[in-house]
Every structure is written in C-alpha cells, then in structure tokens.
Chain A
Amino acid sequence: MIKNLTLISALALFSTTAFAADDVQVQIDDMKKQIEKLEKSQKSTKKSLSKVKSATGGDNIKFGVDFRNAVDVLEYKNNETGETASNSSLLSSRLYLDMAASPMKGLIFKGRLAIYSMWGAHLNYTGAKGTDSAGLKDWSASSKATDTVMRVKEAYFVYSNSLGEQPVSFSIGRRPSTNGFLANYRENEPKSGSPLAHITNMEVNAAMVKLSWDRFIEGAYTKFVYGRAHTGEIENVYGIGTNTPYATVDGDDKNVDFFVMPGNAYDDGQYQVMYQWAHIFNTKGQKYNDPTTKKAAAGTADLFSVGLKVDGIGDEWSDFLDETTVFVSGAYTYYNAKDGYQLLNSDPGGSQSGSSVWVGAIIPDMITENGKFGFEYNHGSKYWTPMTWAEDTAIGSKIAVRGDAYEAYWNFDLFGVKYLPSQVRYTYAQHDYTPNVRCAGWVPIKEEDITASDLRFAVSYRY
C-alpha cells in the first residue's frame, strides 16, 4: 500500500514537474517573442530618432506665431471748431514671429520679428504727401525683388548666475520693452513686457543688469538699464564728401541716451507693486522761441511711476473674485531744459512737470470660458509727457492723454479656441490740451477740446 502511494506520488510529482517545465518553456518563448518585438521597436525608434536628429539637429531656435488681423473704426472731433475726421475701417495685419532658445542652464535668447501693415498700404508709407514709394503696395512688396527690409521688434539674450548669494542677470539687445506692466491686459497679451507701461512703452536697445532681492522680500528685484534711443548727427556712412564715416558732428542733434530703473517692490502672485525711474539725456526740445531748431538736444527728462496690481480679490471668496484683477498706477514727468533752450514751451532753462493716474479692472465675462471684460480710466495733466510711442492705439497713446481717457474691452477666445485670442475694444479720449500723439518735447502745449475714439475688432492666431 505504502509502495503504491509512493509510486502515485512520484508519478504526480513527475507530471507536475513536466507540466511546470512546459509552462516555463512557454513563458520563455513568449519572452523571446517580446524581446524580438522590443528589439524591432527599438530599431524603428532609433531610425526615427536619427531622422528627427538629421532634420532638426541644426535648429537652435524655436518659433512661435502671433498673427493678428484688426479693423479700427476711428472718429475725431474738434469741439471748438466743429471739425471732424474719421476712418470707418482701418484694416491691419500684424505678424509676430517669436523666437526662443535656451542652449544651457542660465542662458536664454529671445527674439521677435514683426510685420505690422495696413491692408493696401504703400511700401514705406507714412501718410505724408510724397511718401508713396514707387507704386509698391503691401500686396506686391513680398512678390517683387526690392530691398532687404525685415523689422526686429525684440532680440536679446539673458545670462543668469549668482555672485555668492546674490542672483544676477545680464542682458543686452533690443529689449522686451513694449506693453509692459499693466498694458498687457488692454493688448490681450498673457504676459507684460519688462518696464512700467505708464511711463515707457517703446522699443529700445539697451544693456540690463538685474539684481534679485527675492531672498529678502518676496518677488523683489531691480533692473538697471542703459541704452540709446537716438543716434545724433553723424558723418554719412559712405564717407561721401568726407573720409570720416560715422564720426559725430557737433551741433544740437546729439545722442539721446537713457537710464531706466524698473523694479518689483513686492510680488506674491496676488499683490504686486512695481516702480520705475527713467532719466533721458539730451531729450529733444528747441532753442527758446525758435521752432526752426526743433528736435534739438534741449535738456533732460525724468519719469517716475509706481503701480499696484491685485490679481484676485480676497482669498478664494468666489471664482469671480479669484479671476478679477484691479490696478492703480500713478506717474510723474519732469522736463528740465538747459540754458537757452525750452522743453514743452517752458521758460528758457526752465522746467515743466506733469502727472497722471491710471486705474483699471478686469473681470470674468461670464459668457465664455476664459473671456474677460476690462475697464480702464486715465487722466493726465497739461504737461504730462510719458514716452509711449509703441502703445498700440490707432488714435495715439491713450496713456499719454492730457485730459481723460476711458476704455472698455472684451478679450475672448474665438470659437472657444485658446489659440484664437480675440478682442473688441473701445477707447475714448478727451484731450483738454494739445494731444500728446508724438510725445515730443518741442511741441508747444495749449488748451484744446478734442475728442477721439477708436473701436477695434481684432482676431488673432497665437501658438
């Protein structure tokens, strides 16, 4: 009996082992097949990667596109004379080709090539008589062999490192100096440029050093920027009639350099306080009572601004308040003429000062997923003269208004597609003094009663 049991057990063990061996073999075979598959897949991946590398190995830059088409409806009225002017459809296209690269930790390059054209405009058109160039229109200029014009809006690199515990960044080039702090909302741009748009909104070439104070105060930093806004008179570049090309020429047309110090006093993501001081050397005015000398180096200008932005009201009181942004900004400009010269019709060697406030609120539109309504108000005094040439308002800078400006806009995504940011914007300006369209120190300022409005519809593709 015991023998039988032993035999049965032995047979059972043998058959189980045999089955187990078969099972292991099946598993091994499966694994072999999987390994073969993986090897094939890896070969294919390697092949694809080689193709990608050979196709993109030399690409050291990434591109993005911001393409906007807009129609502006413009109205002007001189309430003293009754004169009016208008444009029922100023059609424009603006293409930004954005570039970015980060070849190593701490080093970035950014650039922006720009085309901003009126539909059907003449090439190099300024609007003045006689400026139409050889019959070339915007719809033929890219189809005919002409010149080598390509405009650069931004091109700069930033190198960031630390000196001991002090984080330091250095940058040089054509800086991101347009649509700065607070102006990005009215431009329907997610991020603002570098400076405070209340006093400076223009394309500049400059060198910058940034010192971060974040380890002392949350979000705090200061930037020190030095650049040149105007090259004074120089000998002609081909040396015609002279052998000293590019040599400076003595006279009133001097280099206009600037020193700008923007910074964050505090930024915790909800509350942000920014400040800026800008000093302009040789700012342009004229000799006293001599309009023929306009654009002469006539003195200096100092511009100051402090702004507060609150991004989200309270702490999760409601979704509406979380998505609401409010801001207030104050600014002051001081133009100081040198002896014998005047700025903003000052006395010879005198000065003129102006001030401005800017407030705004941006709230959810409650119609679309990410849409926002924005409301802004600006007030500027008689001699208020910021440097906001790059502000994209067809009737002229509303921030530079000497009087009052009201603005309402609706930023939304067309068809609900986030790559199609769009805008309806209405800007109304009441000029109590000479409109500050040119932000120029030689333009005399007198009382006026002019109104201007701009209704814009804009549709963009941004990716």
Chain B
Amino acid sequence: MKSFTKVAMASLLGLAVLSTTAYADVAKGQKLYTKKLKSLCKTSGAKFAASYTQMEWETAKDEGKLTEAFTEACPGGEEMFKGDKFKNKYESHIYDFVYEYASDSGNVPSC
C-alpha cells in the first residue's frame, strides 16, 4: 500500500509540474470584479458582463479596445482600466469573466 501511495504521489507531482501554462480564469475574473470593480461600477458583475455580446467583447479584445469597452460598461472604473497593473494582472481574467457571462451567452454568474 505504502509503495502504491508513494508511486501515485510522485506521479501526480511529476505530472503537475511537467507543464505549467498561464490561463485566464472565469472564476478568478468574477472574484476580481467583486473585489476590485463592483464598488467602482456600482452594478453587479452579471450586469457588467451583459453590457455586450460575446462577439462585441471579442472584437474589442482583438482590436485592442478592451479598455474603452470596459470603461463604457463601467465609467467609474476608467482610471483602473487604464492602469498598467490592471492590464498586466487582471484584464485577461476579467475578459474571461465578461465573455463567459456576456448578454447573449445564456450564462448567469450565480443562482
């Protein structure tokens, strides 16, 4: 049993660190919205995300106009959206969140 446990543990550890890829995260984006933006936007994450359709969010991202789109959806957060920290650290997660819960996504953040 002990050898089995050790082998399983070692295998999982090896597999886990074999490759690490940075992914944006919907749940993280939702958490960041509540924590950093809700008070600035004065609206729920669901409403913020539903400001645009998935295609509109995607187009804004592709054209490098996410800051403008975010600002239009939440004028109170303009300063934050323009900051380097937001762009480097939060933007991808917030994008994943808004795309997941866009107006035409048929998804809702919580029950």
Contact = CB atoms under 8 A, between A and B. Distances in A.
Contacts of A418: 21, 23, 25
B71 to A, nearest CB: 20
A108 B108 contact: yes
Contacts of A455: 5
A313 to B, nearest CB: 12
Contacts, number: 90
Interface stretch (A142-150, A242-250, A264-272, A328-336): A264-272
A205 to B, nearest CB: 15
Given A100-B107, A268-B34, A269-B36, A369 B22 contact: yes
Interface string A173-189: 00010000000000000
Contact of B35 (A311, A368, A413): A311
A367 B16 contact: yes
Interface residues of A, number: 43
Contact of A71 (B8, B106, B107): B8
B31 A269 contact: yes
Given A100-B107, A268-B35, A368 B20 contact: yes
A269 B33 CA distance: 8
Interface in B66-107: 106-107
A370 B1 contact: no
Contacts of B32: 269
A93 B17 CA distance: 24
A370 B29 CA distance: 13
A413 B25 CA distance: 12
Contacts of A269: 31-36, 38
| Most chain A beta-carbon neighbours within 10 Å: one of B8, B31, B111 | B111
Given A269-B32, A369-B20, A414-B15, 4 more contacts: A88-B4, A269-B36, A368-B17, A415-B18
**For the complex of A and B, 5 pairs with smallest distance between CB atoms:** A269-B34, A269-B35, A190-B27, A88-B1, A416-B20
Interface of A: 62, 71, 73, 86, 88-89, 100-102, 108, 110, 156, 158, 171, 176, 190-191, 194, 218-219, 267-270, 311-312, 367-371, 412-418, 422, 424, 455, 457, 459
8 contacts: A89-B4, A108-B108, A190-B27, A269-B38, A369-B23, A415-B15, A418-B25, A424-B9
